[in-house]
Amino acid sequence: MAAPTAEQKAEAAKAAADQKAAEQQAEAAAAKAAQDKAEADRQAQERAEAAQAAAATEAARVAAAEEAATVLQVIGPVAVLPLVAGGERYVYRGTPVGEGFTAEGVAHAVSVGLVGIPKNPSKK
């Protein structure tokens, strides 16, 4: 068997260098893919947490709205209600009417239709 020529040695060295470069590129691509996957997982986790927070906020809003729908509220544009402590207060549509107002004043506002339990258009 003949000794390899300089040309053959150069080709073998180039092939080895090319193979090493290809391996390094493959390792770099694998590292980049792992980094991209980790970033995508982090973003998915953030989206899931944001969706949970939004759902909790919406549930709290709905619960508050349902509670408000069972309490006396001003249903007219505005009502002037007498205060237990004396004087009177302007209360506007949607304002809950509770303690602090005289029973007679609230009863009068209910009788003339300014105060009541609001109707929920989704429940008929």
Residue 36: the pLDDT is: 94
Please tell me the distance from the alpha carbon of residue 109 to that of residue 123, in angstroms, as a whole number.
25
Residue 78: the pLDDT is: 96
Residue 74: the pLDDT is: 93
Predicted confidence (pLDDT) at residue 121 exceeds the cutoff of 60: no
For the chain, what is the mean pLDDT?
88
Residue 120: the pLDDT is: 67
Q: What is the tens place of the pLDDT at every residue in 22-81? A: 999 999 999 999 999 999 999 999 999 999 999 999 998 888 777 766 788 999 999 999
Both tokens assigned to 71:
């309490």
106-111 contacts at long range (C-beta below 8 A, 24 or more positions apart):
106/72, 106/81, 109/74, 109/79, 109/81, 110/72
Beta bridge partners of 83: 101
Please tell me the distance from the alpha carbon of residue 107 to that of residue 82, in angstroms, as a whole number.
11
